[in-house]
Amino acid sequence: MTEPTDLAKLPGVIPYVDNHDGPRRLLTIDVPPVSMNAVRHYLPFTSIDGRQYVVSWGSISFEIPADRNVHVSVHLQTNYGAGLTSTPYASIVLAPHPSPVRLATRFTGAEGSLLPVG
């Protein structure tokens, strides 16, 4: 495991925990609630390279590798009603790049997407 970078030491930034010795960059994901029912009944989950995190609604920041592809996905999960269900997910593969990146989730009906912001 590598030592944390300066990014990982920032308050509110989730460090990249898998083995990676190269440069890193900041990823911010905006997960706005799709409705008040979503806030009451769903939990957002974000995955970075297959490692899943239960996160909060709003903006979440992660430290990610800057020198290789990184897979990012977001889905909503609920145990409200009849059993455990999951919404469609939003997924993207980020190409290597040194600059910070910001993504926004959009869940509409049966589909989800992660879109670059800015």
The number of folded domains in the chain is 1
More confidently predicted of 113 and 87: 113
- Predicted TM-score (pTM) of the model is 0.85
The per-residue pLDDT for range 27-43, each reduced to its tens digit, is: 999 999 877 777 887 88
Tell me, yes or no, whether 67 lies in a domain: yes
Tell me, yes or no, whether 58 lies in a domain: yes
Tell me, yes or no, whether 59 lies in a domain: yes
Tell me, yes or no, whether 71 lies in a domain: yes
Provide the residue range defining the domain that includes 95.
7-116
**E strand spans, the chain:** 13-14, 24-31, 43-48, 51-54, 58-65, 70-78, 85-86, 90-94, 101-108, 111-116
Tell me, yes or no, whether 2 lies in a domain: no
Q: Are 113 and 38 in contact (CB under 8 A)?
A: no
